[in-house]
Chains A and B, each alone.
Chain A
Amino acid sequence: MHITLNLSSGAFAGEIKDISGANVFDCYQCGKCAAGCTVGGYIDDTPTKVIRFIQLNQRDKALDSRTPFLCAACNTCSERCPMEIDVAKIMESVRILALKEKRKPERDVAVFSELFLGSVKTTGRLFELGLTAGFNLMSGQPVKDAELGARLFRKGKIAIKPAMSGNKNVKQIFDKSEAVSGSSSKEEKAEH
């Protein structure tokens, strides 16, 4: 691995700070977040390392890391950080940026989120069956969890029809959020 450092070395850290409010330079790389990470056995880069990438202005390395996508958002890292850095929020910010730039290092997770939100956007509430079926189709594993689904169905735990339909207010929240988020942080940054 090779890293070239240059003058604008704080730029990416600034971007992350705008979204998360966290100053990555507070991090002294103690690894406590990595040590307690729920998905520590499955991620490629430890959260500590992702933060290091941000400290060293390695935008691509951070945004292409699978870690922020596999993050379970369980907040263990933030809770225990000795420097009181909201690590989970940093992961969240990296993921938001990666999604904005259509990078999907962990496609399945991205697809799931998309479908989940899609479901909420159209019906106002989550339609679990639609979500699972849709996910399985899109991820190319149509029979995944089929047996489980059948058992749940027998227990009466799966609704066949969406609960509510077409809540206008929800669509407005989604649209405006997207609009606001698109214009995000730029003005804020200018202010600072």
Chain B
Amino acid sequence: MARIGVFVCHCGENIGRTVDCSVVAKESAKLRDVVYSVDYKYMCSDPGQIMVKDAIKKHNLTGVVIASCSPLMHEKTFRRAVQETELSPFLCEMANIREQCSWVHEDKVLATKKAVDLVRLMVEKVKRNTPLEPIRIPVTKRALVIGGGIAGIQAALDIADGNQEVVMVEKSPSIGGHMAQLSETFPTLDCSQCILTPKMVSANSHKNIKLYTYTEVESVTGYIGNFDVTLRKKARYVDDSICSGCGICQEKCPQKKISSEFNTGLGKRPAIYIPFPQAVPNIPVIDKERCTYFKNGKCKACEKFCDRNAIKFDQTDEFINIKVGAIVVATGYEMYNIGKNNKNGIKGYGEYGCGEDPDIIDSLQFERLLSASGPTFGEVKRPSDGKVPETVVFLQCVGSRDKAKGMEYCSKICCMYTAKHTMLYKHKVHHGQAFVFYLDIRAGGKNYDEFVRRAIEEDGAIYLRGRVSKIYREGDKLIVKGADTLSGSQVEIAADLVVLATAITAQPDIVPLAQKLGVGYDKYHFLSEAHPKLKPVETNSAGIFLAGACQAPKDIPESVAQASAAAAKVLGLCSATELEREPYVAKVYESTCAGCGFCIEACPYKAIDNKAIVNRQGKLIKNVAYINQGLCQGCGTCLSVCRSKSIDLAGFTDEQIFSEINSLFV
């Protein structure tokens, strides 16, 4: 016979204000099998927990219902308390009378009635709970870091320094990401490459880091502690074990006029190329689409001149299988392009000429113009004719905060880097004038607002509060038609160069990866964290963590901080030899299973297989489903496709749910 105890928490005023807790306790006492019920101000406090423990002993309770906050909040607390008695922690259930009752209702009578119902449901459920044993799973002490930008590098280094192995994957030929493209960084104006390259080098040389560039994630299976990952190492056509990175191939390549990705189209590169001088690894890659040999079958200039015979035209993609225990996703962002050909749902800027005018550039391009390693060696020269622009107009919020273009969010970093741009521009072109069209200056951060003020006060940037309606060319000049809402006027500026702070958008190919990983994403395709406040680096897939701008627009300090946080999570995970997992897994009743195989097909984890039942003579009696408890994550999809009800799910058994429903309305 079940003996259930009900403990009703007031949560101070939080529950007590709307739910009459003493009534709930009294009503609970009337329920069949409830032998003890009580209400108390703070059940989660030490005295509250002691109360529960004492009652379990004194009344020989076989099950406990805590009516308080959400189980997502305190289930662990109370189960731990219960565990300290003789009772299994899985014989404790929570009735959520705070988040889903007292906080959302105002009528005390109805809220109390609902609270009583919620308790009754849980009493019915807990009566049918069984003591379960947590599942222990081994942990592979190796992490995968996807993405080799600053976030990925930082996470990899922190994990590696914590003495755990890291496999780092970068889809482009070199690590470094967007940060490698930047000139100086706000708010200190220190050189981006100067602070980044040492980290790139140590990521490459760290004994605990195995680096794969020009490599993508092909597939991911498994679960926390035990992921099986297949990587696709794309053919570089250069043997990275032989190549010394001398660069002679680049020099000899007859194709010289390919627009350089690293220089955002402002510079040129050959068909065989090292993306930038400080690239890590310093090994070239052949752009197959543009290579003369691959196109016409003739050339091989690079091969001829390579004295180490490192060029391998017959190289193919290579697949590498690795086992890891945790994954850090640090895939970064991409700048929104104002052109017509954009991702679905995002429109171009026809009013700004759809990016067809060479002197309307985006901020990343301007970074390259400012950068000493850039196409102009740090001199600000406009792309159309190489003239030094004397009037530069900066537009913030291009695409961002723009419902019509499909991006309603703030890109967060543009206010700061635009202020930086105006400063760096002024430092290089002393007689030049920078104008900035902005909507709001968002400069929250240490020394951030001071930085923007400096741009305005010391470096003379004129800030105009308003958007720009149209940009068009008139001879040598670009006419910028904007507004200054502070004076309530239209503003027209004849500019030499226009720089657009375009929105930070998710990586265009992030969705397939997210689906491989089972990580959620929002409508803008930024990856979803498990909790906006309390689990900012976790995802809803255990063992997979986020770092950097793949989650939302972020600046460098934030990306680095989140990367280190993700690394701490990974190290925490690796510090245990075994993981405990809630034993909510499904099991098959073989005697009634007809072996139809629906569950095998439907299982998202491929955790179910056929099992042949044979008699003593070895003759097949029948086939039934068999669930691998290690792979089962407990979603219960198999139950719903099982017609004979031959599968059940621990923790959410048919009987438990059935009696919950049955006790709903009395």
Contacts and interface: CB of A to CB of B under 8 A. Distances in A.
Contact of A34 (B403, B405, B470, B485): B485
A158 B499 CA distance: 51
Classify chain B's interface size: 20 to 34
A29 B438 CA distance: 11
Interface string A109-124: 0000000000000000
A41 B469 CA distance: 15
A29 B484 CA distance: 10
Interface in B180-233: none
Given A80-B351, A83-B404, A28 B485 contact: no
A4 B174 CA distance: 61
Contacts of A48: 466, 483, 485, 488
A30 B467 contact: yes
Given A30-B467, A48-B485, A82-B467, A35 B490 contact: yes
Interface in A59-86: 76, 80-84
A76 B469 CA distance: 9
Contacts of B481: 35-36
B347 to A, nearest CB: 11
Nearest to A77: B469
A31 interface: yes
A36 B470 contact: yes
A46 B404 contact: no
Interface in A117-173: none
B664 interface: no
B337 to A, nearest CB: 17
A45 interface: yes
A37 interface: yes
A17 interface: no
Contacts of B482: 31, 35
Contact of A45 (B402, B468, B488): B488
Contact of B483 (A28, A34, A82): A34
A103 interface: no
A35 B467 contact: yes
Contact of A36 (B401, B402, B469): B469
Interface string A16-38: 00000000000011111111110
B491 A35 contact: yes
A49 interface: yes
Contacts of A33: 469, 483
B439 A34 contact: no
Contacts of A46: 483, 485, 488-490
A31 B404 contact: no
Contacts of A45: 488
Given A46-B483, A46-B489, A32 B403 contact: no
B405 A31 contact: no
B3 interface: no
A40 interface: yes
B465 interface: yes
A84 B403 contact: yes
A84 B97 CA distance: 42
B403 A35 contact: no
Contact of A31 (B351, B403, B470, B485): B485
Interface string A82-118: 1110000000000000000000000000000000000
Nearest to B466: A31
Interface in B480-498: 481-485, 488-491
A35 B468 contact: yes
Contacts of B405: 82
B439 A28 contact: yes
Interface in B386-409: 397, 401-405
Interface in B458-480: 465-470
A35 B483 CA distance: 4
Nearest to B486: A31
Nearest to A28: B439
A133 to B, nearest CB: 35
Contacts of A30: 397, 439, 466-467, 483, 485
Residue among B439, B481, B483, B488 having the largest count of chain A Cβ atoms under 10 Å: B483
B121 to A, nearest CB: 39
A37 B405 CA distance: 20
A31 B483 contact: yes
Contacts of A80: 351, 404, 469-470
B485 A29 contact: yes
B404 A34 contact: no
B488 A49 contact: yes
Contacts of B403: 82-84
Contacts of A37: 469, 490
Contacts of B485: 29-31, 34, 46, 48-49
A46 B467 CA distance: 13
A186 to B, nearest CB: 31
A82 B482 CA distance: 14
Given A46-B483, A83-B403, A84-B404, A32 B468 contact: yes
Contacts of A35: 466-470, 481-483, 490-491
A49 B470 CA distance: 20
A32 B491 CA distance: 11
A40 B466 contact: no
Contacts of A36: 351, 469-470, 481
Contacts of B397: 30
A72 to B, nearest CB: 14
7 contacts: A32-B483, A35-B466, A35-B469, A36-B469, A76-B469, A81-B404, A82-B404
Given A28-B401, A48-B485, A81-B404, 20 more contacts: A29-B485, A31-B465, A31-B484, A32-B466, A32-B467, A32-B468, A33-B469, A34-B466, A34-B488, A34-B489, A34-B490, A35-B466, A35-B481, A35-B482, A35-B483, A40-B490, A46-B490, A49-B488, A80-B404, A82-B404
Considering the complex of A and B, which 9 residue pairs feature the smallest CB-CB distances, nearest first? A36-B469, A31-B466, A31-B483, A35-B469, A35-B483, A32-B467, A40-B490, A82-B402, A31-B485
